[in-house]
Structure 1
Amino acid sequence: MHALTIGEALARAQKWLREAGSTSPRLDAEVLLAHALGRDRVYLFRESQHRLDAKEARVYRDLVERRARGEPVAYLTGHKEFMGLDFIVGPHVLIPRPETELMVEYALAMLAGCPPGRRVAVDVGTGSGAVAVSLARLAPGAEVYATDISPEALEIARANAGRHGAPVRFYRGDLLSPLQGVLPPGSVAVVAANLPYIPSAEMAGLPRDVRYYEPALALDGGPGGLELYRRLVPGAGELLAPGGHLLVEIAPDQKERALELVPPPRWRSTALPDLAGRPRLIVAQKKGDGKPVL
């Protein structure tokens, strides 16, 4: 049998992945072949007649087989782009999603409006560090703190901070508890949290690449899906400066229940839509109490 060209290999992989149920078979095939060859995707089009040698074909076939079984592309390549930055990912952390960029963009806007010395942000449940590292890289003069309960996640987050030169300060523990004694009450401009929000009863219905491969610790939000956020709000209210913002990502059908967690008069709250027009980000501003606001 003759060695396959890049074009032929892509066509076969695309067909295989489509039949296996991939929602993006062509993109998956291209990303995996570029990874197998140590090239970018542009190379695949420029050199579509290049014939794969035996080792290249074997590596590619293994990757496509694993993807066909449901393993996420990001775990197969070990990388995922977020906010224009390349992040290391692995089975101990949730794969960064494009919709979470809305949280980062809003946080950046809030930090830009803070006076120098007051640009303090906290990323709760940092996972891969995508939010924290993006803030540290893209918000000039910001102090960024990040927490996570998983030591394996923090190891990946620290690696991502190191490779991007992002001076994030990481702490291990539950929600905001590791920052007690580190940050004084009323000193933080932004608390951002993309915590688990899938109701426990819905975990079994998640797509197989999420259900079987991504960490349940980063997905299961308890019986109602918002249990961690319910616990987070009081601590965030203490840590935020008057006028500071709490940002939390939710599922679209959780809008009303999530807004109930941050009610007036202490909070001024709203829900922002994602690119598909679905409620995705709860923005809760802590009202002033007579002190200067941010």
Structure 2
Amino acid sequence: MDEFKDSELLSKSQLRLWMALYLCPQLGIGALKKLEALLPNLLSVFQLPESELPNYKLSPKQITKLLMPDWQYIDRLVDWLTSQQILVLPFNHMLYPSLLFNTARPPVLLFLKGNIKLLNQVQLAFVGSRNPTAYGSQVTKNFVRELVGLQVVITSGLAIGIDGIAHKAALSAKGQTIAVLGSGLNQIYPKRHLYLAEQIVEQDGLLVSEFLPNVPPVQFNFPKRNRIIAGMTNGTVVVEAAIKSGSLITAQIAVEEGRDVFAISWQYL
């Protein structure tokens, strides 16, 4: 983090405005890209007079939120992010991962804790069974160790099973790993992996989330998490995944985004 100049990261004033934009209802990535194309700078929307805002296809509810954000909540949020050394990258930032930006639905914001240099390095995702066989576990460890030796970053979702095995194998091999969460960074899930998450940051890895810090790990967040794993990586390795599983959703997204997918199936063990 220290290698990046302050000018390359969001200032506190910019972060406040991005939080206000992020909290504006129904202003997703598609709408923001269209709005950005009409403005010299996306944040300049806050400088527009109220009479001009309807010209940018903003609804009355959106206009109200942009004119009167909840600054007390936003300032508490910004203070917490700063105190926890969590960085925020909007989709149009120079440090935003280029592979992810070019996917169908890149997140508007990424909340990051750790080594943000890893975002644009070569990555392979490992996803798979929550209850892998001994063979699947060992193969994952072996592959991760070899990939770390090739300076490949290991990316996964911090889940029980193959995810955790891949993260731990990368750390054991003195490599670097990225954990993408299906919850906010103040709601590490599963709780038994809280220490693992801390280890990842301490050993020059990275935690990634698109959710506000206190968002809980609700079920519909995990497909969103999976699209980030698939979209941010150069390829995905699937280990012993069940037919109906989040791992195969990740693999399907990877295929749709033109990424390589590799499989280790229990059927052939």
TM-score, normalisation: structure 1: 0.31
Larger helix proportion of the pair: 2
Structure of greater Rg:
1
